[in-house]
Amino acid sequence: MNTLSYKTVSANKATVQPKWYVVHGEGEVVGRLATRIASVLRGKHKPDYTPHVDNGDYVIIINADKVRFTGNKLDEKEYQTFSGYPGGQKRRTAKEMFVKRPTMVMELAVKGMLPKTKLGRAMIKKLFIYEGASHPHAAQKPEPFKF
């Protein structure tokens, strides 16, 4: 009798070895770029993806101020915040967000695609977004991510 034993290998905290990737945001569409980055942060690009383990990689986005929206989203898309107090609701269009905090547009897009749990909050901490073409993470030896 042939007794081959196949075991499903699940990733755990001890076996995860995260990598660092650089993504150039120049000319990229916000939503399409955010879905790819969220997938890398979750670890779905790896063959040993495990939903309950944070086995994603670190992502550095440079040139985040040069991403683009399609259609009329730049003028029509609104970002809402609410302080919890009466009259504390604020609305900003995407154009106003680009002027005030250009990195926040990408951060909110990616954050909305991650789980709303402790695990999701841990994943968003592995995202670093910069306006210009330089970043301070050269010591981690990041490599460009091929989509």
pLDDT tens across 43-90, in order? 999 998 999 999 999 999 999 999 999 999 999 999 999 999 999 999
pLDDT attached to residue 2: 63
- Per-residue model confidence (pLDDT) at position 6: 79
pLDDT at 3 over 70: no
**Domain-by-domain residue ranges, the chain?**
20-144
Query: CB-side exposure of 37: number of CA atoms within 13 Å?
Result: 35
For domain 20-144, the CATH class is alpha beta
Give the tens place of pLDDT for each residue, 27-55: 999 999 999 999 999 999 999 899 999 99
Residues with Cβ within 8 Å of residue 65, at least 6 apart in sequence: 25, 98, 102, 103, 131, 132
pLDDT on residue 146 = 85
